[in-house]
Amino acid sequence: MTKRVSYSFESTLDTVNRAESMAVEAAVTAGFNEDDQYNIAMAVREAAVNAVMHGNSADPAKKVLFVCENTGDALVITITDQGKGLDVSHLPDPLAPDNLMKGSGRGIFLIRAFMDEVRFRNTDPGTEITLIKHRGRSAANAKEETK
């Protein structure tokens, strides 16, 4: 049975905490183990920070849409901002020698490491990121299956 919830939040750091808490609650309800709960929480936190700070530039007039869906087979979380949009093909490689000591720029890298699938879509204006964590398999297993 699919369960879906949707919220519209202000562009504040409180939104980051609320999105993370809601994601953990959904992961617990869906039966994910503690490691997966942590991974989901960290990925959602990174995505929410990106939406609030980078996408919406913490503009109180712009909203962050948070949608969480438990499909039974996976937890699907979508976070959408109202910013200028993001072209992920132009993000610097956080593992490149010139970037190793930088204090930022690892969020998308971490999101991809923590989740089984990550999708981006430009919404004009804004960016939508969809985070998917499948039940019963690790990210490494999911990545091997897609090869």
Report the pLDDT value the prediction gives residue 98, as an integer from 0 to 100.
65
Domains identified in the chain, total number: 1
The CATH number of whichever domain residue 73 belongs to comes to 3.30.565.10
Give the residues of the chain that fall short of pLDDT 50. 139-140, 142-143, 145-147
Q: What is the pLDDT of residue 1?
A: 59
What's residue 107's pLDDT? 75
pLDDT reported for residue 140: 47
CB 42 within 8 A of CB 114: yes
State which residues form the domain around 119.
Answer: 3-145
Locus of tokens 């020698």: 97
Nearest residue to 76 via CA among 139, 146, 132: 132
Q: How far is CA 73 from CA 12, 14, 31, 83, 135, in A?
A: 32, 30, 11, 31, 6
> What pLDDT is recorded for position 75?
97
Tell me what pLDDT residue 54 has. 87
